[in-house]
Chain A
Amino acid sequence: MSKSKSNSYNNDRRNFLRTGLTVAGALALPTGFASRAFAANRPPIGTWPAGSSGHEVFIGITVPRTGGYALQGEDELKGYMLAVEHINEGHPLIRKISPKTKKGVLGKKVVYGVADSAAKPNEAVQAQQRFISENKAVLMTGATSSAVAVALNKLAQREKVLYVSGISGSNDTTGKDCVRYGFRQCFYGQTAAAALGPVLVKTFGKNKKVAFMTPDYTYGHTVTKSFQDYLAQYGWTTVTDQVSPLGSPDFSSYLLNVANSGADVLINVNWGHDAVLSIQQAKQFGILDKMKLVVPYQVPFLAREVGGGLLSGVYAATDFWWTLAEDKKYPLAKMFVDAFDKKYGYKPQWGAENAYMEFALWAEAVENAGTFYPPDVIKSYEAGRKINSLVGEVSWRPQDHQLIRPVFIVKGKAPSAMRNKEDYWDVIETVPGLPLMQKPDEFGCNLGSYT
């Protein structure tokens, strides 16, 4: 009841404003302002204009704080929190990415709510529904599981509220399950395979036998498929694919199949604690002495958690590694790593980098749109501007809302070669993003409508 009352009040007020502003705009104001006034003519959509009519705008964040992805979720959350702080204070780093930013977004302070998704789609959707109805969220974020990202994509399109996906490695997120209201910053199965594949072929040779360990959901299946497709061109054959549920308490039975498969290379697609446990147990079963381990989609904190130098010499593809800050080509990465380290006392992992980038890029899109009206913000994203970022110049691909950004290939360091306790990986290659990406419609992306 109260909702409909407030809507009718808003409508009355909006009608009044609409008439007044249209007349004023037509009579006296310059063209630019007139077009802004014209925007007020639009019918409400999603949480617009209610969500941005006050002094603040709200972002709903759902990250896993429990379950197998909890550690990565916390890192991601810290990236979001730092970005909000920087946006609100008009920090120089944000202003380098989004030059029009002063303080806040379009002068409005950004506030947020956090809910634990436990990496489960239904919990994330419920929490975001609450943020939409109770807080009039103008933006949703947080995944750390592509199953969650795909579910929130669908919610975003239905509710007409923007969603930036958080960590999500599935091809489907900007492929067959892409939506007009969803955007992804990070790398994914296809780009990981196209970037890391050549390194694997160069290092290990052609015609190898490969064993996969695959978590049983969209992320695992699409990453494994992308690697299988790429490597098959060079005669690599899959001798076993061990599919396991997310959060398996033990990987021994899968690992025994791997151990007895005769594979030369083990590509472990598992993520979060599953990756940690499966690698530690692979060592227990002597597998790491028999075959080469590859981590196709790097996991924040992996090397530290696995321990024992087990990732020494292991290749992985990643979105970001903190030593990029030491490269003069990435001055913004240095600003980010320094600010993050100062605030949280450790070097940011790629989950935090992804989170920070997403909010900064959202601020940039909104500032350029000059409004929170979602279709205009989406068109601002789709304009394909070159944007300065933590990883150099990037741009959005309008056809599937995937950021065109480089993928970094890292190689695990031996414990004796580590310069400090967080120096686990060497960045050995930076691969430009565009040539890695599939054709925009290759994975069946159909974005859907703006309204």
Chain B
Amino acid sequence: MLNWTNFLSQLFNGLVLGALLALISSGLTIIYGTLGVLNLAHGAMFMLGGYAGYVAFQATGSFLVAVIAATLFMLVFGVLLERLIIRYFYDRPDEDQLLVTFGLSICIVETIRYFFSSMTKMVPPPSIFSGITSFGGVMFPTYRLALIGIVAVGLLALYLILYRTRLGLIVRAGIEDAVMVDSLGINVYRVFMVVFGIGAMAAGFAGIVNAPVVSLTPGMGETILVQTFVVVVIGGVGSFPGAVLGGLIAGEIISITSMINPAYSYIMLFAAMTLVLVLRPRGLFGKKGRE
């Protein structure tokens, strides 16, 4: 479907998809970069954020309350998960970390399925963003356009935390060398707790702001998790700017390829990841020693 209107539409769409992927991936990459834990429950946390927002929306009817409630809920959930389970796995082998987070993912998904069934749940977009916007022949759902701004605010907040606060300084130092930070007298494990909470919060925020776009099912995190890993690999493990750029690249690859041949969208995404791994194994923004 090659024509100018479709190209513009797909370009925009790639931006929206990419922004969302960037948001989810940034949580994953921060957690991995700092804690060294590859969190396979990240997709489940994305889904859980959506459901937390859904419950809040059902109770209040306000999308804004749903977003705030889901984000805070996931911050608390992340902190509790770190305290109760994850922290016991910092010094365990990688495969133990993979197994425990994979197991947690199954537990979270099946708990949600138990209470909410597999039936799709919907959270409508706020009324000011409902409907369709047309510009230059391009028709696009208004909420999806608004999502670019919403995600940008989320990413900006993460940026400010990571680059403009003392906590962020320690986190970034932890990504480079956690042992050194620890020997400087900073309680690195308390920072780990906060980092895991922030990562979960980012996933939860993405989950609820994405809910009006995709509607909720318990298994929604599984498919997005794969794409998220691709984004992290492309952007560079542990790199926040890498996650943002990787997300945008992934979104555009999916959208633009679909215009030429939709069956190849995901193949091209993995081809791009392979190319990055061959040419620059540590990813676009990755640094030696992190991976």
A242 on interface, CB distance cutoff 8 Å: yes
CB nearest to B43 among chain A residues: A249
The residue from B3, B6, B118, B143 contacting A70, defined by CB atoms under 8 A apart: B118
Task: State whether A273 touches B5 (Cβ < 8 A).
Answer: no
Which residues of chain B in 137-154 are interfacial with respect to chain A, using CB atoms and an 8 Å cutoff?
139-141, 143-144
Instruction: List chain A residues, Cβ under 8 A from B113.
Output: 66, 70
Task: State whether A256 touches B13 (Cβ < 8 A).
Answer: yes
How large, as a class, is the contact surface on chain B? 35 or more
Which residues of chain A in 248-287 are interfacial with respect to chain B, using CB atoms and an 8 Å cutoff?
248-250, 252-254, 256-257, 259-261, 273, 276-277, 280-281, 284-286
The residue from A250, A256, A307 contacting B122, defined by CB atoms under 8 A apart: A307
The residue from A70, A257, A260 contacting B219, defined by CB atoms under 8 A apart: A70
The residue from B3, B6, B224, B259 contacting A249, defined by CB atoms under 8 A apart: B224
A374 on interface, CB distance cutoff 8 Å: no
Task: State whether B144 touches A252 (Cβ < 8 A).
Answer: yes
The residue from B3, B119, B132, B262 contacting A244, defined by CB atoms under 8 A apart: B262
Secondary structure call for the B interface: helix
B111 CB to closest chain A CB (Å) equals 13
Which residues of chain B in 1-54 are interfacial with respect to chain A, using CB atoms and an 8 Å cutoff?
1, 3, 5-6, 9-10, 13-14, 16-17
Task: State whether B214 touches A253 (Cβ < 8 A).
Answer: no
- A256-B223 contact, Cβ under 8 Å, with A250-B214, A276-B120, A301-B119: no
- A252-B17 contact, Cβ under 8 Å, with A66-B109, A240-B1, A305-B120: yes
Task: State whether A260 touches B223 (Cβ < 8 A).
Answer: no
The residue from A243, A273, A305 contacting B262, defined by CB atoms under 8 A apart: A243
Task: State whether A277 touches B215 (Cβ < 8 A).
Answer: yes
Which residues of chain B in 91-145 are interfacial with respect to chain A, using CB atoms and an 8 Å cutoff?
109, 113, 117-120, 122, 132, 139-141, 143-144
- A245-B266 contact, Cβ under 8 Å, with A250-B17, A259-B9: yes
Instruction: List chain B residues, Cβ under 8 A from A306.
Output: 120
A71 on interface, CB distance cutoff 8 Å: yes
B220 on interface, CB distance cutoff 8 Å: yes
19 contacts between A and B (CB under 8 A): A68-B219, A71-B117, A71-B118, A242-B258, A244-B262, A249-B223, A250-B17, A252-B13, A253-B13, A256-B6, A256-B10, A256-B259, A257-B258, A260-B1, A261-B1, A284-B132, A284-B141, A284-B144, A285-B140
Further 13 A-B residue pairs, CB within 8 A, beyond A68-B217, A277-B215: A70-B218, A74-B118, A244-B265, A247-B222, A248-B223, A249-B220, A252-B13, A252-B16, A259-B9, A260-B9, A273-B219, A286-B141, A307-B122
A-B complex: 9 closest residue pairs judged by Cβ atoms: A253-B258, A71-B118, A260-B6, A70-B118, A257-B1, A243-B263, A284-B141, A249-B223, A305-B120
State the A residues within 8 Å of B (CB): 66-68, 70-71, 74, 216, 240, 242-245, 247-250, 252-254, 256-257, 259-261, 273, 276-277, 280-281, 284-286, 301, 304-307
